[in-house]
């Protein structure tokens, strides 16, 4: 049974317009493993398909639902890790989806699955896991943006993240391949009609873009920019948490778009070295390797963080961007008042996904066996 304990740090945290000295906590956090799901090394035959894009949602009785990018159907497990059944099925018919890009437990423990490719939102009964109904389309902000992720479900409707897809030069929608982009959170009602535009918005993630155009066709290639900045959005406790990871600066916004507070944590940027860049492309094809190494867009410093989770107590769990080839990464724990209450070193191959009711749910990647899920009890 593995345990992880927090180390306490004293950083300067600014909440809204006030400067707050982080409070020292005499009762450090500790994670104690309860069970695993999909650990092939331990003899578990459950197959977890993805790590970075794993979606974990938890209901009021600690039943968990696991999906993710290109994952169908969603798997359900009891509070002890026992397989319960499937939610939905693979396909395009009623109650079916190809891609569980978002898995959300909403009011009354109903399960919501959003297929971003089909732009279909499906809802399942909390007790039987049977299909209840779906919404095949949602209203776009404009003719060039589309919903990419379901952030949360409220009494008013659905919070969706909208993004502008990359399209080749000369596309009919007039989308500029190299133009600026925004990721926007919009509130839609149960019918898919816009209720509130731009609850929150941030610049889109930085990408490397290559285009080509001839007399009869055009093409575009897009890949992540090494050490590029990205937007982070989380919905919990009736608030949207929005941050651009150049610095640790998290805006807390109500579901109606009203500012609540801002949490800032002092951060010293780490420089990007040639060795760091080489490590990114060491397994890439020759074409991609040349593309990346010749790019002038790679930042001089690394992002401040690469993961953000908000628990049901309103605490923020922020993973500082790990060093290249580091075995561990530091998670900062900030309470709802903007005070730093702890810092925890966790394995670099572990990503916290959901923290609720005294439990932490994580995706772990094994180089030998692939991804699996670990559930921890949290004590203070």
Question: What is the value of pTM for the model shown?
Answer: 0.91
Q: What does the mean pLDDT of the chain come to?
A: 88
- Taking only the tens place, the pLDDT of each residue in 27-51 is 478 999 999 999 988 888 888 988 9
370 pLDDT more than 80: yes
Q: If we measure between CA atoms, which residue out of 74, 18, 21 comes closest to residue 46?
A: 74
Q: Which two tokens stand for residue 293?
A: 């190494």
Dist. CA 255–CA 271, nearest whole Å: 36
Separation of first and last alpha carbons in the chain = 18
- Taking only the tens place, the pLDDT of each residue in 118-136 is 889 999 999 999 999 998 7
Banded pLDDT at 148 (limits 50, 70, 90): very high
Query: What does the pLDDT read at residue 207?
Result: 95
What integer is the mean pLDDT of 323-352?
93
Query: What does the pLDDT read at residue 137?
Result: 62
User: How far lies 327's CA from each of 120, 182, 324, in Å?
Assistant: 39, 34, 9
Sign of CA dihedral 363, 364, 367, 370: negative
216 pLDDT more than 70: yes
Per CATH, the number for 36-271+351-379 is 2.120.10
Banded pLDDT at 12 (limits 50, 70, 90): very low
- 189 burial level (CB within 10 Å; 0-12, 13-18, 19+): middle
What integer is the mean pLDDT of 279-283?
89
Dist. CA 11–CA 23, nearest whole Å: 9
What integer is the mean pLDDT of 345-353?
96
Helix 274-281 with 286-293: angle, nearest 10 deg: 160
Query: What does the pLDDT read at residue 188?
Result: 92
User: Is the link from the previous residue into 73 a cis peptide, with omega within 30 of 0?
Assistant: yes
């Amino acid at each position: 049974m593995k345990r992880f304990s927090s180390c306490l740090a004293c950083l300067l945290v600014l909440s809204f317009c006030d400067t707050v000295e982080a409070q020292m906590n005499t009762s450090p956090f500790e994670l104690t493993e309860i069970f695993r799901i999909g650990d092939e090394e331990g003899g578990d035959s459950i197959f977890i398909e993805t790590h970075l894009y794993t979606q974990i949602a938890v209901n009021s009785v600690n039943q968990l639902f696991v999906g993710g990018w290109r994952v169908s159907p969603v798997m359900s497990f009891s509070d002890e890790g026992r397989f319960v059944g499937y939610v939905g099925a693979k396909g395009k018919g009623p109650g079916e989806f190809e891609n569980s890009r978002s898995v959300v437990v909403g009011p009354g423990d109903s399960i919501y699955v959003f297929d971003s490719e089909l732009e279909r939102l499906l809802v399942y009964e909390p007790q039987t896991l049977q299909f209840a109904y779906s919404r095949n389309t949602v209203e776009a902000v404009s003719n060039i943006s589309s919903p990419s992720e379901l952030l949360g479900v409220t009494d008013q409707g659905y919070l969706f993240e909208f993004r502008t897809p990359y399209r080749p030069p000369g596309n009919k929608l007039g989308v500029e391949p190299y133009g600026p982009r925004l990721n926007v959170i919009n509130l839609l009602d149960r019918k898919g009609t816009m209720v509130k535009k731009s609850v929150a918005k941030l610049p889109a993630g930085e990408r490397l873009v290559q285009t080509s155009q001839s007399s009869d066709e055009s093409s575009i290639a897009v890949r992540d920019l090494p050490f590029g900045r990205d937007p982070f959005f989380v919905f919990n406790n009736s608030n949207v948490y929005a941050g651009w990871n150049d610095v640790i600066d998290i805006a807390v916004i109500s579901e109606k778009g009203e500012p609540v507070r801002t949490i800032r944590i002092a951060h010293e940027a780490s420089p990007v070295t040639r060795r760091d860049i080489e490590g990114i492309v060491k397994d890439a094809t020759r074409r991609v390797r040349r593309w990346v190494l010749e790019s002038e867009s790679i930042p001089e410093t690394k992002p401040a963080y690469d993961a953000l989770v908000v628990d049901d107590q309103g605490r923020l769990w922020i993973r500082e961007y790990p060093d290249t080839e580091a075995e561990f990464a530091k998670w900062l724990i900030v309470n709802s008042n903007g005070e730093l209450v702890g810092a925890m070193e966790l394995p670099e191959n572990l990503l916290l996904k959901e923290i609720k009711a005294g439990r932490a749910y994580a995706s772990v990647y094994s180089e030998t066996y692939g991804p699996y899920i670990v559930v921890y009890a949290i004590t203070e």
